[in-house]
Structure 1
Amino acid sequence: MLDSNMDPLLSTSSDLNTLMNGAIKTKLKIIPENIQWRRQSSVVFANMRGENMKPRISEVDLICATKGTEAWVQKLK
C-alpha cells in the first residue's frame, strides 16, 4: 500500500492489523469495540472452499467482489 507520496505504508501483516483495527476502525465509526479485524482464517477458508469460487453475478470474482467493491468506493467519494 502506498500513500499519496508513493511511500510504502505497510510491510507486514501486523501493520495491516494495526491499520484496520486502529485508523480504519476509528474513521468508519460503525465497528463495535469487541470486533477485531484479522487476516483470513484458514479454517473458514477450508470450509468455504466449495462456495467462495462460485460466480454470483455471471462473473467469477474469485476472492474480491470487484463490482461490489467499486460501488462501495464510489459511495465513499
Structure 2
Amino acid sequence: MREVLEAQPKVVAFGELALPGEDTEGRTAAFSSDGKAVDAAGLAIHSKALAFQRAHPGTGHLDAVRAVS
C-alpha cells in the first residue's frame, strides 16, 4: 500500500507560493487567499486594528477597525 501511495503525483504543495510577475519584497501580504492583489489601504486599516486589539485586549476586530478608522 505504501508503494502505491508514494508513486502517486503530488496533489497539494505546502508552503509559500509567489504569483508570476508579482514583487513580494517588503510586503506584509502579497495576495489574498484567492490570488488577487490586496488593497493597500484596507491592509493598513487591518494592521492598525490588530495593533489596537493588542493594546486593548478583549476588543473585537470590527470595534478595533471602527476605532482606527
Instruction: Compute the TM-score of the two structures, normalised by the length of structure 2.
Output: 0.25
* Bigger Rg, structure 1 or 2: 2
Specify which structure has the bigger relative contact order, considering alpha-carbon pairs within 8 angstroms and separated by 6 or more residues: 2
